[in-house]
Amino acid sequence: MQFGSATVSETPISFVRLFPPVPVLHGNQTATDYVNDSRNVPLSYDRLVREILLLYIASTNPAFKPYQVLFDDTDLRTEAPYVPMVNGLESFFASQPKFAPVGMTLLECLYAPIRAYPTSLRDQVNYIRTRWAHFLPQELLERAQLALDVLEEEWAMRGFGPGAIEPLRFDRDTHRRYLGYSEYAAFSEDADWMSNTILIAKSIYVWLFQLSRKYQRDIHLLSDIPDEELDRLAGWGITGLWLIGLWERSSASRRIKQIMGNPEAASSAYSLYDYVIAGDLGGEEAFKQLKWRAWQRGIRLASDMVPNHMGIYSRWMVEHPQWFLQTDYPPYPAYQYTGVDLSEDPRVCLQIEDGYWQHRDAAVVLKRIDKWTGDTKYIYHGNDGTNMPWNDTAQLNFLIPEVREAVIQMILHVARKFPIIRFDAAMTLAKRHFQRLWFPQPGEGGAIPSRAEHGMTREQFDQVMPKEFWREVVDRVAQEVPDTLLLAEAFWLMEGYFVRTLGMHRVYNSAFMNMLKMEDNANYRTTIKNVLEFSPEVLKRFVNFMNNPDERTAVEQFGKGDKYYGVAMMMVTMPGLPMFGHGQIEGFSEKYGMEYRRSYWDEQVDEGMVHRHETDIFPLMRRRRIFSGAANFALYDFITPEGWVDENVFAYSNRVGGERALILYNNAFNTTRGTIHMSTAINIGEGTEINLVRRSLGEALELEASDNSFYGFRDYRSRLEFIRSGRGLVGQGLFAELQGYQYHAFLDFRHIRDTDGSWRELERRLAGSGVANLDEAHREMQAEPILGPYRQVMNIVNVQEVLINRAKVHDRIESTVRSFYHSVGQATHTTALVDALLARFMKQLRLMDAGHPTEAAKAKPRRRKVEEPSWMQVSASQLDHVAFAWLTLQPLGELRTKEDPAPPAALAVSRVDQWLLLKAVREAFNDWLSNPDTGYWDSRLVLILLGHSDLLTPARGRSLGELFRQALSDTTVRDYLHINTFNNVVWLNKDRLERMTAALLIAARLTVKAGRVASKPTLDRARKNAALIIDAAEQAGYRVEEMLRLLN
């Protein structure tokens, strides 16, 4: 009684009145009566005194300040000797023996956590758990842990997504906890088509809207999708079409979004009413029709499923409300439900919490009222713990066996319609995460507010959910609907677990997009290396993508430049399943929300992007079989000349059968150079066995290292071919220099046996450079003794002087042509014939000049007896370059010995091909005409003149029609005349025929006037036959068979 009787008697009464227990709160007792009754029961009075003491300690705790509005002791301090009473208790305990386990008095113990961590309740509770665990009862420790979990729920950061992307590991998950579940190897078997599938996503309502605009007609149903679009996808190499949003959606989702400000919104594609094809898309019949048309083009349809939850208004919400995760009371008393009823069924009222409508809170539960019975439940929204609850969804309770079986039956139902199923947010239903989110173990609370109090131990959870749900799904689908590809959207470093242990065929690889976008190249290389060291087969099971529906579009993330195409190239050449986003190939920037019924941006197709995909990316997709597997995949370190690894370079190889591929890509702005030789570690062990090996480039690609082994290969980016010695590739590897965002995709490897040293010489000459065609370069090198002199003949300076200055430069031309003919004579042992053929060439060259009137002659008027047809009015100078090239090459058939059996014309054509002389002609024409297309076709015209110069002067006994039909059997002639078939009729091109005929007439004139045949009658006959050909073609309407009939 040191502080007086009032201190002891008044304080408890005031405390009970200000902080009333239930009897006092309900008016069943006065505060005085309650205190007096407590004095008669010692334990009750002790509890009352204890609460007073704890209130005081809480009021002095800085970390407790946020809660003082609920426990404000200001009034108690004013009206009662509350503080003196506590001081008296403190003095009393100070005189008592100290508590042995900690060497402090009782009040010192109670203040110790506060003094150690004055600003953190979490640290204070943790202080108690760790410092006093050896003497506190287990029940109290568990309550302390629950308090920590509740605090974690309050303090957890939400709304910022899943957080940073880390390299894939196989010992912990992204929440820094050991996995705790057996990670045995149980990969599902892959069908061949699964391994080589290339997927593209289409948000169905947006796509139909875009197609309507493109084709200028209403396209609203699945059956309305034009065949042209399916043909286009198939032509690109797409083999899987993921249609987002096919199912009948929950009307509640639409109403929420429209009330919240988007009057055009549809329901979210992931807030479903039921798994039936939406009626406004044409229902089941329209779907079947589209499925059949796609299948005819080699395209399989893919669908989404969201097994984790349903829409808040769904068939199951009405018929099976007990299947959802729920409580009988709102988890937070402040929740209010006064908004609109989102149910369309008169039996049920469904409301989301008012905070959503007022933009002030994101409640974790909705309210369901059974209007027939009045039963009220508070059902949790779907939630993955990384963001806000999905307020248009309702979470299913997978601890109920009936729910698991119902969902599996629904998956089987979908599998019977779709050969590819994508499971949205699949990681939320893995046991470790379903427990972490909804029934957390002590110490793991915080993911979803209010769930800590529903926690379970691991043993308790395993009793009610003994098997992994996804393993059950995989096994049931394999048994009942085989040949179905199951694809999981899974994050949180669970990718390996989903495919290796749970048996999913494919799993999302979000690190591909996120790390390559941020150029976090070292970490992505670490991810690949970790997979290879753990289980290379996991690499084959990845889905690689540059955007997905939840992310910004690919061009927003990667741009439209070389970086985009470098990463796209990786996407289609890494093991796994490549997936293109909606509008990615067309270069669209708009991100389509799951509720969109149309696109909102007026975007036009970027034809440049489409074209570059067609030239750079799609050809690699058509070789997908080389890249899709992981059994022979190897990743290499790119070693710079300074000896360090450039982590920005992705260098890897793969092979299947006899086909090989080697990829290098620099995912950085800077230029780099280096060598690849040895792979990173690869686990070749069976099952859980770890057996790490490193392979050289030669071993990985199975290359030979013998002295006469060389390898040719083509870069699909530059279209150039390269040659390297097998010994060099095996012993030293491959050196490369890469500009910023540059890549090489080396394919079409072929083994070359060098039997004569010529390929070694070619490698030396090229010195690492590429050429358009290795075989041609090899032939060109071997033909150099003849091709070199001919290039001098066709040098652009010579050609210009011949065609412009004419006779003034004949001496110079004669010298270069003599050198060319002499080289041919040496090669064919016919040098004795060179002088005569050179003389004839010079005569024909002068005749060609004579065919051009002088300026004076042009000015002198002359009469024409008959108007010449238009095709004969082609100026001879327009074909001078053709005539000149023909004149230089015609003697090749006559530099022959008696042993040469071929006719001169055939021999000339053969030698032009053998020595690549037409290449020199084409190069000269390109320079002369500045038009590669005309240069190419005029060089083909030279070849026609060599092989068919007598077409207009048939030998006795042969008809013009017979000779022309024979000419049409020549591929060169057919290609030049653009022979084509339309409506079962064979046609030719008018302009090409007239140009070819004019050239043949020039050749006939030069041949005749050089004195090789009787002059005037032969030339007249040539002119007449030329006119017959042109007239017959015109009368036949350029139909080939009719023209030949007329000629005969």
pLDDT in tens, 541-572: 999 999 988 889 999 999 999 999 999 999 99
Q: How many C-beta atoms lie closer than 10 Å to residue 625's C-beta?
A: 14
User: Per-residue confidence at 76, pLDDT binned at 50, 70, 90?
Assistant: confident
Domain 522-530+577-771 is found in CATH 3.40.50.300: no
| Radius of gyration for the alpha carbons in the chain, expressed in angstroms and rounded | 43
3-class SS of residue 28: coil
Q: pLDDT above 70 covers what percent of the chain?
A: 94
User: Per-residue confidence at 67, pLDDT binned at 50, 70, 90?
Assistant: confident
pLDDT at 865: 45
Pairing relationship of beta strands 420-423 and 300-305 according to DSSP bridges: parallel
3-class SS of residue 87: helix
pLDDT at 266: 86
**In this predicted model, what pLDDT tens digit does every residue of 823-832 receive, in sequence order?**
999 999 998 8
d(CA 257, CA 267) in angstroms, rounded, equals 8
The long-range contacts involving 166-172, CB below 8 angstroms and separated by at least 24 positions, are 166/493, 166/523, 167/511, 167/523, 167/524, 167/526, 167/527, 167/530, 168/493, 168/495, 168/496, 168/511, 168/527, 168/530, 168/531, 169/493, 169/530, 170/496, 170/530, 170/534, 172/493
Task: Please give the backbone phi and psi of residue 490, each rounded to the nearest 5 degrees, phi first.
Answer: -140, 135
Asked whether this chain's domains 168-308+401-430+469-521+531-576 and 522-530+577-771 adopt the same fold, the reply is no
**DSSP tag of 99:** B
Tell me: pLDDT of 870 over 80. no
3-class SS of residue 622: coil
Residue 940 C-alpha from the chain's centroid: 42
d(CA 506, CA 490) in angstroms, rounded, equals 10
In DSSP terms, 771 is beta-bridged to: 721
Residues 269-286: b if buried by 16+ CB within 10 A, e if exposed:
bbbbbebebbeebbbeeb
pLDDT at 178: 46
Superfamily of the domain at 168-308+401-430+469-521+531-576 = Glycosidases (3.20.20.80)
1037, HSE (Cβ side, Cα atoms, 13 Å): 2
Mean pLDDT of the chain: 90
pLDDT at 537: 94
Instruction: Report the pLDDT averaged over residues 687-703.
Output: 93
In DSSP terms, 650 is beta-bridged to: 665
| Helices 138-155 + 121-131 axis angle, to 10 | 160
Domain boundaries, the chain: 5-155, 168-308+401-430+469-521+531-576, 311-395, 522-530+577-771, 783-860+874-946, 949-1048
d(CA 428, CA 508) in angstroms, rounded, equals 14
**In this predicted model, what pLDDT tens digit does every residue of 815-850 receive, in sequence order?**
899 999 999 999 999 988 999 999 998 888 888 766
d(CA 394, CA 202) in angstroms, rounded, equals 26
**DSSP tag of 97:** P
Tell me: pLDDT of 7 over 80. no
* Residue 311 falls in which region: left (phi positive, over 0), alpha (psi -120 to 50) or beta: beta
pLDDT at 896: 86
3-class SS of residue 623: coil
**In this predicted model, what pLDDT tens digit does every residue of 222-260 receive, in sequence order?**
999 999 999 999 999 999 999 999 999 999 999 999 998
User: Per-residue confidence at 160, pLDDT binned at 50, 70, 90?
Assistant: low
Question: Which of 390, 386, 325, 329 has its CA nearest to residue 356?
Answer: 390
- Helix count and strand count (H, E) for the chain: 47, 28
